[in-house]
Amino acid sequence: MESQHPSSHDDTCNPGSCRKSHHPEKVKNNLISRLNRIEGQIRGVKKMIDNDIYCDDILNQIAAIQSALNSVGKILLEGHMRSCVVERLQEGDLEVIDELMITIKKLMK
């Protein structure tokens, strides 16, 4: 008998999964904008290294990038919990809690 819960390779937030997230357009645009800024910051760090900029300045920029990525993660986690997790719980899928705990542990590393 097939399980109603998808296997671990069918995780909601993994690329290539058959599940889709459903972010409101405003949230999606906000996330894309934040990621574009982070991408620019990373390119800036690469230039700083290439130009032999003082290490402390580079490390401060890396800290800013990590903080920005954490903010993106928090937005995604909140949306995931308010939509995907709630929906799966309403469907009786309690395994979503284990999945969520694994994800939270990864984010807190």
CATH class of the region 23-107: mainly alpha
- The two counts, helices (H) then strands (E), for the chain are 4, 0
Question: Residues with Cβ < 8 Å from 3, sequence gap 6 or more?
Answer: none
In the chain, where the domains are located: 23-107
At 64, list the tokens.
């800013």
In this predicted model, what pLDDT tens digit does every residue of 5-58 receive, in sequence order? Answer: 443 434 444 444 556 777 889 999 999 999 999 999 999 999 999 999 999 999
The dihedral of CA 87, 89, 92, 97: what is its sign?
A: positive
In this predicted model, what pLDDT tens digit does every residue of 54-107 receive, in sequence order? Answer: 999 999 999 999 999 999 999 999 999 999 999 999 999 999 999 999 999 999
Q: Shortest CA distance to 81 belongs to which of 9, 15, 33, 13?
A: 13
